[in-house]
Amino acid sequence: MSSTGGLKWFKSSYSGSQGDSCVEVAHAPGAVHVRDSKDVGGPRFAVSRPAWGRFLGHVAG
């Protein structure tokens, strides 16, 4: 697995100010990385950019 130390993570503008129940995403060439905002050092996963686009289309639709 490649290093994810240089990624710029961000939360959705729809995230609450309490910081609970949020995920953060970071865009990288060829992948979108996802992690739990409450456990930034914990498990994370990455999906291809096309898969991320399909996911967003599904949840928005």
pLDDT value for 1: 41
Q: Is the pLDDT of residue 3 over 60?
A: no
Contact of 24 with 34, CB cutoff 8 Å: yes
Structural domain includes residue 11: no
**How many Cβ atoms from other residues are within 10 Å of residue 46's Cβ?**
19
Q: Which structural domain range is residue 39 located in?
A: 22-60
- Residue 18's alpha-carbon distances to 21, 34, 40, 45, in angstroms, are 9, 19, 16, 24
Residue 28 lies in a domain: yes
Tell me if 9 is assigned to some domain: no
Model-level pTM? 0.77
Average pLDDT of the residues in 27-47: 92
Decide if 42 is inside a domain. Answer: yes
Confidence of residue 9 (pLDDT cuts 50, 70, 90): very high
Average pLDDT in the chain: 85
Q: Looking at the predicted structure, is the pLDDT value of residue 10 above 60? A: yes
- Whether residue 48 lies inside any domain: the answer is yes
